[in-house]
Structure formats: C-alpha cells, structure tokens
C-alpha cells in the first residue's frame, strides 16, 4: 500500500506526468496513428499509479502479491505503455514501435505480448467484469492485493459494464477500485449529447458502491482517493475522475476531434514545445 504523499513526492510525480506527456506525443507521431486526448488527460493518474499507488515490481511482473491494474478502455494504452516504460518494465526506446508490425505495443494491449499487462483489452465495457473476477478470486484465496480498473466514461453506454457494477456491489468487493476517466468525450462528440451518462454518482450508489469524485488531473486528490478506497471494507469504490482531454496542450483540450487521431510532425513539434515550457514552469514553481 502506498504512503500518503508529501510535497517532494508530489512535485516529482507532477514532473514525471509532464515527461510522460512528452513521450506520449513522440510515440504517437512516430506511429502515425493512435489516440491523443484521452492518454494526455490520464497522464496524471497513470503516473500516480505506477510511481506511488500500485504495489508492483517491474523486474518481476508476475509477482503473485502484486496489485492488479486492469485497463478496460484499451485505446488509451499509449499512456499505459509510457508509464510502464518509465517504471522499468521495458526500454523507453521501444515506445517508438507503437502500432508497428510485430511490436509488443499493439494499438490495444495484449496480455501475452507484454509482461505487466494483466488483460487483453479492446471491446469496451469488458474490463470491469474481468476486474470483478480477479477481485472475487483474490477474496476466495485470501489474497491481500487490490484490483484497480480504469474505465472510460463512454463505455458506460455498454450494458455489460453495468452487469459487472451490479456483481461487485452485490458481492461487496471492497478490494476493488474502479477509476472512471470522466472526460465527457467520445469519438463522435460529447457523451451527454450522444448518450447521457449522468447521474453517474447516483447510479453507482444505487448498486452499493462507495463513490468519490475528484479532479483527475490533481495527483494529490487522486492519491488521497485511493487511500480512502482502501479504507472502505463493506463495498467496492469507484473514483469518478474528472479529467481534461488533451491536458497540457491548450489548443486541443476539450476537443473531441482529438479522441482518436495522432499529431502530425508539425503539430507534434509545437505540442512538445508547449509541454517543455510547462515542465519548466513546474520545476521553477517548486524551487
């Protein structure tokens, strides 16, 4: 279990999240395809997970007591790959192979290709059910590890996900924490225009979940939420993380058109300059 976060660690994580965004842009422009907005928006959460929250060992990915981190919305896997490479699961240079023929870094993650990836994900709505099975099995086996499941908001338009919500609430899976990337966009527009999701809090509470709502781009708030989730013993917890799609690059923030496209080389150069300027500000503000 991670420790509460101090100021020094918080600054370190904020700097790492910005570094992750830079690597993300570099790998997307090299691939020439992939998703941009969601991975940028989730950089803070994935950085916090891999560098503070998760109990894991990159040198021993199959360690039996590790926490399990399920990625349901597999299309945001570029930020998972970046976080894993930064944490030491594989060389950072390999990020440039994203979506190339024969790569371990597929456009949706495949469990048998890359150590440290718990499940193969692609069809939206499936991940929470997988996470429920892992959490339920851990309870049966008396294991103490926690299971986390990252989900998109848009995939909550899928019925199979709500079956898993009901299962977890009914079985009081307190060793399970869901994380919803509530960025309000999907490939065709804004979620509330396409198929409204609200009131998400009330829906989860109706199925016996403990619900936390946070600023998903605030690392300290996210870490605090994971600690509260671990202290809830009678029900599963979901963290509704309100994130900014495209976070860090002002001209694409909140623009659903960037859900599923990569930057051009010219755009990437501009985006990287903006992120490097932002990184400099983060460092100077805390010196």
Please tell me the predicted confidence (pLDDT) of residue 128.
98
- 13: in domain: yes
In a domain, 1, yes or no: no
List of the chain residues with pLDDT < 70: 1-3, 284, 286-287
**Domain total in the chain:** 1
pLDDT of amino acid 1: 45
Q: State the pTM of this model.
A: 0.95
| pLDDT, position 280 | 76
Give the C-alpha distances (Å, rounded to integers) separating 181 from 57, 83, 188, 236: 25, 17, 17, 17
Residue 132 near residue 161 (C-beta atoms within 8 A): no
How far apart (Å, rounded) are the C-alpha atoms in residues 127 and 125? 6
Range of the domain at 55: 7-285
The answer to the question of residue 122 being in a domain is yes
Q: Is the dihedral of CA 24, 246, 12, 66 positive or negative?
A: negative
- Residue 145 in any domain: the answer is yes
In SS3 terms, the chain reads as CCCCCCHHHHHHHHHHHHHHHHHHHHHHHHHCCCCCHHHHHCHHHHHHHHHHHCCCCCCCCCCCCCCEEEECCHHHHHHHHHHHHHHCCCCHHHHHHCCCCCCCCCCCCCCCCCCCCCCCCCCCCCHHHHHHHHHHHHHHHCCCCCEEEEEECHHHHCHHHHHHHHHHHHCCCCCEEEEEEECCEECCEEHHHHCCCCCHHHHHHHCCCEEEEEECCCHHHHHHHHHHHHCCCCCCEEEEEECCCCCCCHHHCCCHHHCCCCCCHHHHHHHHHHHHHHHHHHHHHCC
> Is residue 90 situated within a structural domain?
yes
Per-residue model confidence (pLDDT) at position 287: 60
Residue 2 lies in a domain: no
**Closest Cα partner for 219 from 132, 151, 282?**
282
Output the domain CATH number for residue 140: 3.40.50.970
């Amino acid at each position: 279990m991670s420790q509460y976060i101090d100021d020094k660690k918080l600054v370190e994580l904020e700097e790492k999240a910005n570094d992750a965004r830079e690597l993300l842009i570099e790998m997307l422009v090299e691939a020439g395809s992939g998703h941009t907005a969601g991975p940028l928006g989730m950089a803070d959460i994935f950085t916090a997970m891999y560098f503070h929250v998760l109990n894991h060992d990159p040198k021993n990915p199959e360690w039996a007591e590790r926490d399990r981190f399920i990625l349901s919305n597999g299309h945001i896997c570029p930020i998972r790959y970046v976080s894993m490479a930064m944490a030491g699961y594989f060389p950072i240079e390999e990020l440039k192979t994203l979506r190339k023929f024969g790569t371990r870094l597929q456009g949706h993650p495949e469990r048998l290709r890359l150590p440290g990836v718990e499940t193969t994900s692609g069809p939206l709505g499936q991940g929470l059910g997988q996470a429920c099975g892992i959490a339920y099995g851990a309870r049966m086996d008396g294991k103490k590890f926690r299971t986390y499941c990252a989900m998109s908001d848009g995939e909550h338009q899928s019925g199979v996900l709500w079956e898993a919500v009901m299962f977890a609430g009914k079985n009081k899976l307190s060793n399970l924490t869901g994380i919803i990337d509530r960025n309000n966009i999907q490939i065709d527009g804004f979620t509330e225009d396409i198929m409204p999701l609200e009131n998400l809090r009330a829906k989860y509470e109706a199925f016996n979940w403990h619900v936390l709502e946070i600023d998903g781009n605030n690392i300290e708030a996210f870490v605090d939420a994971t600690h509260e989730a671990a202290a809830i013993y009678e029900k599963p917890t979901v963290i509704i993380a309100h994130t900014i799609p495209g976070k860090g690059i002002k001209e694409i923030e909140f623009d659903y058109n960037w859900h599923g496209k990569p930057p051009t080389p010219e755009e990437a150069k501009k985006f990287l300059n903006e992120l490097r300027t932002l990184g400099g500000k983060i460092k100077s503000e805390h010196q």
